Amino acid sequence: MRFFSVKNAILAVCCLALIGCGDSDSNSIESKQNTYYTQLVEIMPVVISLESAKLKGDENKAKEAQSKLQTLNIDEKISQDATAILQRAGQNGYSIILPDELAQDIESYTIMATLPRGVYNLGLIPNAKHFEFALSPSLNDNGSEWNWEADALSRKQDEFIALLGKDKDSKIVFYDSGEYGLSPMGSAVVGIMWAKKLGYNNIYYLVGGFNAWKDLKLPISTEAPHCCQM
């Protein structure tokens, strides 16, 4: 799976991600836990503003965003991770979505959980379907890319397509725990890359994954949709 650095693609992701983000303070949840994942979600709108301003060459807006980053008093490592997540999405042609955004319009999305089955059974984002992927992509024996059997842990590709649906323009969100979002890659991104290869166009990565969703005290279900019941 090759990653391409495309300035316009990154800018497009910034623009899409800014829609509905609003001010992070107005979207705060009183009972949320202050964790790495909630801080990643909190800082992301500011990082989006900063990266968008840089790409447009808008020095004033870039300075404003940089100043706001400093006032948030969030660890530099989290800021760097947020930037890396945003840039990777832009380079590979998918979008990012914050947990609050998804929760507010959850019926508009097909939601795919790429976590291990045992973790999924313990709790899921309501109506999330399940298809586990490896944490990082594998090469074929001949060194070529796109090793479905290894990436999908031997499940059939037809099953994956059936869960995604026939509409290649439907909005689909992928999430994993959020723990392996950058190292090695994370199962959600592996799933996203396969969905993109299969022709699905409106793909989203959930920032912070299920850990952020839980820490923000958003609704969790223990009832899998009919398609994914054991």
pLDDT tens profile 94-108: 999 999 999 999 999
What is the pLDDT confidence band of residue 17, given thresholds at 50, 70 and 90? low
pLDDT tens profile 199-209: 999 999 999 99
Q: What is the mean pLDDT of residues 146-167?
A: 97
Does the pLDDT value for residue 26 go beyond 70? no
Does the pLDDT value for residue 10 go beyond 90? no
- Measuring CA to CA, how many Å separate 175 from each of 142, 171, 184, 191? 30, 13, 15, 9
30-37, long-range: CB < 8 A, 24+ apart: 31/217, 32/215, 32/216, 32/217, 33/215, 33/216, 33/217, 35/211, 35/215, 36/78, 37/178, 37/208, 37/209, 37/211, 37/212, 37/215
Cα–Cα distance, 40 to 37 (Å, whole number) = 5
pLDDT for res 29: 40
Instruction: Mean pLDDT check: name the lowest of 81-90, 112-121, 131-140, 179-188.
Output: 179-188
Cα–Cα distance, 190 to 203 (Å, whole number) = 12
Helix 76-92 vs helix 36-56: crossing angle, to nearest 10 = 60
Residue type, 121: N
Would you state the torsion angle of the CA atoms of residues 211, 213, 219, 225, taken in this order, to the nearest 10 degrees? -70
What is the pLDDT confidence band of residue 19, given thresholds at 50, 70 and 90? very low
What's the token pair of residue 207? 């920032």
Residue spans of the domains in the chain: they are 34-92, 94-229
Q: Which alpha helices (DSSP H) does the chain contain, by range?
A: 7-18, 36-56, 59-72, 76-92, 99-104, 117-122, 148-151, 157-164, 187-197, 209-215
| Phi–psi pair at 70, nearest 5 degrees | -65, -35
Output the 3-class SS for 50-89: HHHHHHHCCHHHHHHHHHHHHHHCCCHHHHHHHHHHHHHH
CATH topology of domain 94-229: Oxidized Rhodanese; domain 1 (3.40.250)
What's the token pair of residue 141? 């024996």
pLDDT for res 184: 78
